[in-house]
Amino acid sequence: MIEYISIMALPMMIFVIVVTGIIEKKDVLALFTEGVIDGLKVIYKIFPHILAIMVAVSLFKDTGAMDIVFKPFNGILSKFNIPKEIVTLSILRPISGGAANSVVMDIFSEYGPDSIQGKIASILMGGTETTFYVITILFGAVGIKKIRGTLAAALIADFVAIALSIYIVLNGYI
């Protein structure tokens, strides 16, 4: 029954929209094409931001700069039993969801989803946001330039979520 409902959801939604348009005597096709044009304008506005952040993350990962940045933290990480893969994920998650998903898949394939690394990664992915990506896309699309307060609040929330995900797993709550 649920499978049938999920299969029929989109066709029924389209049917309801068309029937509502006909009842209200509106040109459904014209409204649809206007919506498509508006959507393309938004894509045109945000595409440079998306491309720039994707290229920057790829360069950071592929050039080995990430390994150089994390090297000084190895002593602190081992003292607190924090897996170094989690630090990589913690740095990438606020920047790019795709890069963070890639790291999580690597963690799952190497250690397994039920490992300490896998559990921390799972909680971290659910508790954090792609802060820089969202701010770049949303604020860039509407032209907001003053982001300091939003950025600070979002990064504090990400830090708390990262710290709590590590604490919860390392102390055996999950």
What is the predicted pLDDT for the residue at 146? Answer: 87
Provide the token pair at 45. 């506005």
What are the residue boundaries of the structural domains of the chain, listed by start?
46-170
Low-confidence ranges of the chain (pLDDT < 70): none
pTM of the model: 0.67
Q: Taking the CA of residue 64 as centre, how many other CA atoms within 13 Å lie in the half-sphere pointing to its CB?
A: 0
Element housing 166 (H / E): helix 148-170
Distance of CA 104 to the CA centre of its chain: 12
Torsion over CA of 63, 66, 132 and 153, rounded to 10 degrees?
A: -170
- What's the pLDDT at 144? 86
Residue 1 is predicted with a pLDDT of 77
